[in-house]
Amino acid sequence: MIEISGLTKRFGPITAVSGIDLTVGRGEVLGFLGPNGAGKSTTMKMAAGFLAPDGGYARICGHDIETDTLEAQRQLGYLPEGAPAYPDMTPRQFLGFIAQVRGLSGDAARNAIAAAVHKTELDPVLEQPIDTLSKGFKRRVGVAQAILHDPPVLIMDEPTDGLDPNQKYAVRQLIKAMSPDKAIVISTHLLEEVEAVCTRAVIIDRGRIVADGTPAELLARSHHHNAVTLIVPAAQADAVAARLKSIPAVADVQQAVSNGEASVTAFPKDGALLIEDVSGMASRENWDVKELYAEAGRLDEVFRAITTHDATRARESRA
């Protein structure tokens, strides 16, 4: 439903987006991740037809965004970064205007606005100028205009930016509920958001795709994937660590002591499952275990490993 090929954008000497290829199908919620300035917003603007590319193309439901713009944008809901335009309007006026632009009138417009207002919980502020709304409500007005015409494709630039934890949860639930019959792309800096709503994550860095997979596939690249941690009394830590090292599937053991307790973590070779070996050893050897847990992996670790460049690494290792 979204087809992007060779998409490129230069701003003077900066190549903001450098040959991005991407397809997104029905039922997918693709999380677009990357450091500041990686090119996420620029890619989304080009895919939505708000910025002309210098190379490549984007198609929405088969319609080229540059040569068949209106038909492509009919199939598309787009939430740009920042606040919605027309701050003097109230949400009711703004959504009425968007409905008109989308070709809806009469009952169809009223029903579409009511549904979008309900889904984004905008009732309390419908008659208040957008300019005077809190950041979270402004963002929700933006989400409401993007979903108003129930488009098959949604492109949303940081949809939960500025929302409080309850509102974040509500918008994520909304995205999930809409996802089965839509193709959705969201950009985010919140790695927990990827795990909460995305079926697929794409990491871009310096305008290029550097990782593309399900959240589970990315987690499998984490150093902590299938690592097992035990919390034991500090006095037992060295002995526990030494025994854990004797397990053939253990690659490395690390420990940290605080307040008389030690956290001892066994890292597996090649992502092997360690939990049974470790828990079996702990019960056979009567360790005084306060906690024992395995980890799926840490997305922040993968993100850092992929997007921290050699120069930064060298600087960090010198520090």
Instruction: Give the whole-angstrom CA distance, residue 230 versus residue 287.
Output: 10
Q: Which is nearer to ligand ATP, 8 or 236 (CB)?
A: 8
The one-letter amino acid code at 34 reads G
The CB-of-258 to ligand ATP minimum distance in angstroms stands at 34
Q: Which is nearer to ligand ATP, 40 or 225 (CB)?
A: 40
Q: What is the CA radius of gyration of the chain?
A: 24
**CA angle, 1 then 176 then 295, to 5°:** 110
The CB-of-165 to ligand ATP minimum distance in angstroms stands at 21
Asked if residues 76 and 48 have their Cβ atoms less than 8 Å apart, the reply is yes
Nearest CA to 46 among 86, 82, 9?
9
The CB-of-147 to ligand ATP minimum distance in angstroms stands at 22
The CB-of-266 to ligand ATP minimum distance in angstroms stands at 36
The CB-of-91 to ligand ATP minimum distance in angstroms stands at 25
The one-letter amino acid code at 38 reads A
Q: Within 13 Å of residue 102, how many CA atoms lie on the same side as its CB?
A: 27
Q: Are strands 29-33 and 200-205 parallel, antiparallel or unpaired?
A: parallel
The CB-of-38 to ligand ATP minimum distance in angstroms stands at 4
Q: Which is nearer to ligand ATP, 58 or 104 (CB)?
A: 58
The CB-of-97 to ligand ATP minimum distance in angstroms stands at 26
Q: Which is nearer to ligand ATP, 188 or 229 (CB)?
A: 188
Q: Which is nearer to ligand ATP, 15 or 75 (CB)?
A: 15
Q: How many residues in total does the chain contain?
A: 319
Q: Which is nearer to ligand ATP, 60 or 204 (CB)?
A: 204
The CB-of-240 to ligand ATP minimum distance in angstroms stands at 42
Rule CB under 6 A: which residues touch ligand ATP? 11, 14, 16, 34, 36-42
Q: Which is nearer to ligand ATP, 34 or 49 (CB)?
A: 34
CA distances from 131 to 120, 146, 148 (A): 18, 19, 20
Q: Which is nearer to ligand ATP, 158 or 277 (CB)?
A: 158
